[in-house]
Amino acid sequence: MKQLQTDKNDAKGKQKANLKKKFKPGKKQKGKQKAKPDKDSDESEDERGTVPLKETRISDEPIPKKSKWTNKQRVLVLCARGINHRDRHLMRDLRTLMPHHRAEPKMERWKTLSVVNEMSEMKHCNKVVLFEGRRKRDLYMWLANAGVGPSVKFLVENIHTMGEMKLTGNCLRGSRPLLSFSEDFTKQPHLVLIKELLVQIFGVPNHHPKSQPFIDRVITFTYLDNRIWYRHFQILSEDGGLTEIGPRFVMNPIKIFSGSFGGDPIWENADYQSPAKHRQMLRKAASEKYLQRTKKKVDQQVNAPKNTHKLIPHGDIFRDDVDKRAKVLLKQEQKQEKLQQEREKIEKRQKIMAERDAMRKLKLATAKKSASSKKLPTRKELARKREGDDRGAKKTFKGVKKGAKGAKGKKMANGK
């Protein structure tokens, strides 16, 4: 039995439309009626090769940004433990001049250099600058293309930091530098490779987020005495006026390796001498100073020329005018006479003083002889004299006593 669907009344008395009520289809309108999608139609579209619609609209997708920063060079600047305070300040100065650097804390000594490649991968860096110290004296610098290679090892000498020199030059922080190289970097193949590494490391990429769109400084690399000299200047004017900013240091190339921090050596410096060996040579030279002096004296005596000049007798007389030469000779003779007179006076005074000293010595000698002629009594003689004096005194004392007794007896007899 079909239940009759009746209209329901609301609380307000309004009638609700019966949603389940079936309506008769109206007249078809041309151009306005939409076709219902069926399964058969979908299958037919797939068979035709049409691509289904995407889940997201094109308008909802993010618009790709056109970045001007194409040269994405990132340099990892770090050091190993054991560097000096001056070397640490040099590393800090280079970091301030390179806005495209990435910092890393100190690396432990026991770690191998291959660990640096992993660090660069973690920091997304293409190039690496590693400072390595020895004996708190010597500083070595590695420049490497991370992961692929090549890598160059330098000995850093004559370090002068910006805080140490206090130069007048100044530049904008994060500005891009001009890199200038001497002509020698194009003549030798190993210098061409080093130049390319230096350009990629010290050159600030264009439109880098941390850089400034200004060029107000110059970094110069000059090759002299088998070393690379680093200088940093400020551009004062377009005419070429420059003032130095700092830092200063000299890079002595030692070896070039095919890989990054390893691999086969491509090039080696034949003129390189380690700083420890150089100090040892200086110590030996200082210890052998006395031997060198004596050798020089002997060589001078052996190789001294016997006949230095060929002199003509009386040849000096006819060089100048006769009158001038005569006057000069007269003056020389007068000087010699005065010197002789002074010498005679001094000799006379010395003779008088010598005679006086001799008289004093004679007087002292006679006085000593007279004193020695008067002989002094010896101890035995003095003792004998004392004994004789004592005996004489005792005899006199006894005689005095006897005389006194006799006088007393006489007085008593007279009184009676």
Beta bridge partners of 180: 220
* Average pLDDT taken over every residue of the chain: 82
288 occurs within a structural domain: no
Which tens digit of pLDDT belongs to each residue from 360-394?
889 888 888 777 766 666 777 788 888 887 777 76
Give residue 143's domain range: 73-275
Domain with residue 239: its CATH number is 3.40.50.10480
Task: Report the domain count for the chain.
Answer: 1
The pLDDT assigned to 10 comes to: 46
Q: How far apart are CA 342 and CA 274, in angstroms?
A: 67
Residue 67 has pLDDT above 80, yes or no: no
Residue 9 has pLDDT above 80, yes or no: no
Residue 106 resides in a domain: yes
Q: Which pLDDT does position 316 carry in this prediction?
A: 61
Q: Does a structural domain hold residue 88?
A: yes
| Mean pLDDT lowest among 13-27, 143-157, 235-249 | 13-27
Reported confidence tier of residue 287, pLDDT bands at 50, 70, 90: confident
**pLDDT band (50, 70, 90) for residue 326:** confident
- pLDDT surpasses 70 at 402: no
Q: Is residue 302 part of a domain?
A: no
Question: Which token pair is 331?
Answer: 């003056």
* pLDDT, tens only, 137-149: 999 999 999 989 8
Q: Residue 11: pLDDT band by 50, 70, 90 thresholds?
A: very low
Residue 55: is its pLDDT beyond 90?
no
Backbone φ and ψ of 153, nearest 5°: -110, 130
Percent of the chain with pLDDT over 70: 75
pLDDT at 8 exceeding the cut of 50: no
Whole-model pTM: value is: 0.56
Q: Which of 42-51, 186-195, 275-284, 322-331 is the least confident region? A: 42-51
pLDDT value of residue 389? 79
Asked, for residue 29, whether it belongs to a domain, the answer is no
Question: Is 83 part of a structural domain of the chain?
Answer: yes
pLDDT of residue 368: 80
pLDDT above 80 for 120? yes
Mean pLDDT value across residues 232-243: 92
Closest among 113, 144, 358, 141 to 228, alpha carbons compared = 141
